[in-house]
Amino acid sequence: MSTVCVLTPIVVGSWPMIANAVAGAAASMGFSVLSSNVATPEGVSDATLHERVVVDVPNSDVVKEAMDGGQEMVIARDGVTLRFGIDERGRCTVCASGKGLSKRRLTEIAEAVSGRVVQQFAYHKLMAELKQRRFTVVQEHVAGDESIQLRVVIDR
């Protein structure tokens, strides 16, 4: 007997949980983490960059009790800089900037990385919950379409 369910993750957590997901997304997409929890990292100046776009990380809500202001994480690759932060609504946002790239291209990059942040968040959340319930992950791999595949056995 089986059921198939499709879900949209809700990214609710403290800033360290979000930052952990950003770091995982950066690593999986070849971005370098330039800095975290600083206003302006060394060597990065928005004044030298031509275009800039801001997009939301979908369905995100950073727990306000865990915020102490100014929390930010910056990643970069091939001249593109992505700055993750929290807006006044408590949502996680990403500001993409880079020389010689159109706003459309920057939006595509920001949305792709945001998706990967959600993927990493869902992965870490699931693994923690499954471990807490003593379920056993017997298979884990990244497929050709870059999806994360898990098989979990329920020992009763």
Partner 1 sequence: MKKPQFDISIAKDGSVKIKVSGVSGQECVRLTDMLAQMIGREDSRSLTSEYLGGGGDVRINSTVDAHIREG
Q: What is the smallest separation between the CB atom of 41 and partner 1, expressed in angstroms?
A: 26
Rank residues 39 and 143 by Cβ distance to partner 1 and give the closer one: 143
Q: Does 125 bind partner 1 (CB under 8 A)?
A: yes
What single string gives the DSSP state of each residue in 68-88? Answer: -S---EEEEETTEEEEEEE-T
How many amino acids of this chain bind partner 1 (CB under 8 A)? Answer: 37
Q: What is the smallest separation between the CB atom of 105 and partner 1, expressed in angstroms?
A: 18
**Pick from 115, 114, 119, 99: which is nearest to 45 by CA?**
99
Q: Does 1 bind partner 1 (CB under 8 A)?
A: yes
Q: Does 150 bind partner 1 (CB under 8 A)?
A: yes
| Window 61-100: contact mask with partner 1 (x via CB under 8 A) | ----------------------------------------
Piece of 37-45, 73-81, 95-103, 119-127 that binds partner 1 (CB under 8 A): 119-127
Count CA atoms closer than 13 A to 153's CA, side-chain side.
5
Strands 11-13 and 60-62: parallel
d(CA 117, CA 20): 9
Piece of 40-48, 64-72, 84-92, 122-130 that binds partner 1 (CB under 8 A): 122-130
| Angular region, 12: left φ>0, alpha ψ -120 to 50, beta rest | beta
Q: Does 10 bind partner 1 (CB under 8 A)?
A: yes
98-108: b or e for each residue (b if 16 or more CB lie within 10 Å)? beebeeeebbe
Place of tokens 């884990």: 140
Q: Which spans of this chain sit near partner 1 (rule: CB under 8 A)?
A: 1-10, 58-59, 112, 115-119, 121-123, 125-126, 129, 135, 143, 145-154, 156
